[in-house]
Amino acid sequence: DQELAERLDGEAGREYLHFRTLSLYEAVDALFEDDRVRTVVKLHCHGSAYEDAPGTGHFVLRVVARSGWSGLAVGGSVALARALVSVVEENAGVVITGAPVRRVLVSGGAARGVELDDGETIAADRFVVSSLDPAGTLGLVGEDALGRDVADGMREYRHAAWSLATLHLALAEPPRYRAAERDPDVDRAYGVYFGADSTDELRANFASIARAELPERFAGNGACNTRFDPTQAPDGHHTAFWWPFAPYALGDAGAAAWDDRRNEIAARILAEWSTYAPNLARPGVVLGRHLFTPLDIERNIPNMVRGSHHGGSYQPGQIDATRPTPELAHYRTPIDGLYLTGASTHPGGSINGAAGYNTANAIADDLGLERWWTPVGR
């Protein structure tokens, strides 16, 4: 913090440091006067997985500053993944899918490769990188190789206080919101937020989630991507999603209850969505639906434990220069040649490439590799 204070010397820097002493809600309330505006900004921050806790106020500035940076991959997000795979393959790399790693091979204090679930081993001449969450990486390596203090920090890494219950719709027409009667631009917006009209409603929503209960009223954000990329649906048709906040576990029944209650909860989410976009309740508009639950998130993406959709909570102690833990904040581990990357490292989740970029620079520094990229800020 002292180094940061020196770099931010000046009025703007001092104001920024002041926001670091506030909670997220305190910061929003200091910047905006109308509680309706405060509520949508808080929803926007929560949509990026930031939680209301002491010392998180400066993240409001970050979220507001980058609000216009959203992008859409033509053909869907899978198109971006396929493009990245093609870059690897064009440069003589190999991408193996459907082959979970059982453990990282460590010998002489250095990472020597990985062993897959089927017993196959892949040797590593120079380094191994894990994009799993800290506890997942610990499970691949073991406490003995990392040391007790580092291992304890990895085990104690906290996942987000909520997950998402995402309803995907196949549509004969896009959602048409009642609010567009007052402001037609609503139907042309990329991102929409609804489900809470006051800070008190937001607090009640998250209080229910903390009790492992569905909120009385769902709240969150969504989009109709085919308004901007028509290739994601057949001609004249659309897709849309809404991802309201939800608990990972459902009461005493736990997370497994999502499978049993999938259709019931999907119907309820659609009914609530339809109160904002009434055309979704008309026969023939919704052609198909699928609820992607918090349990589905965990099943499909191993580093999103308990449906923690940004790879871990954004809380003091595991954000910025201390993410995921102070001992591992520089993408390196005590094991020579073993690095961390992904959403559990700085700057966190979302599709931005920053964690991978930072890890690549750390590896290049350590191994004396010639960069084919121009490092930012160097």
76-99: b (≥16 Cβ within 10 Å) or e: eeeebeeeeeeeeeeeeeeeeeee
What distances in angstroms separate CA 296 from CA 81, 159, 187, 197, 291, one per listed residue? 19, 16, 30, 29, 9
274-302: b (≥16 Cβ within 10 Å) or e: bebbebbeeeebbeebebbbbbbbbeeee
Q: Given this model, what pLDDT does residue 356 score?
A: 94
Taking the chain, what is the end-to-end CA distance rounded to the nearest angstrom? 22
Closest CA to 325 of 111, 51, 134: 134
Locate 161 and state its tokens.
């206080």
H helix or E strand, kind and range, residue 171: strand 166-171
The answer to whether 38 touches 70, Cβ cutoff 8 Å, is no
Q: Given this model, what pLDDT does residue 4 score?
A: 66
Q: Given this model, what pLDDT does residue 60 score?
A: 93
Is 338 buried (19+), middle (13-18) or exposed (0-12) by CB count in 10 A?
buried
Tell me the three state secondary structure of residue 101: strand
Enumerate residues 6+ apart whose C-beta is below 8 A from 156: none
Tell me the three state secondary structure of residue 128: strand
Closest CA to 164 of 272, 263, 246, 269: 246
Q: Given this model, what pLDDT does residue 320 score?
A: 86
The answer to whether 215 touches 245, Cβ cutoff 8 Å, is yes
Model confidence pLDDT, tens digit, residues 255-305:
999 999 999 999 999 999 999 999 999 999 999 999 999 999 999 998 899
Model confidence pLDDT, tens digit, residues 44-67:
999 888 999 999 999 999 888 877
Q: Given this model, what pLDDT does residue 224 score?
A: 97
Strand partners of residue 104? 114
Ranges in the chain, pLDDT < 50: none
Calpha distance 118→100 (Å, rounded): 8
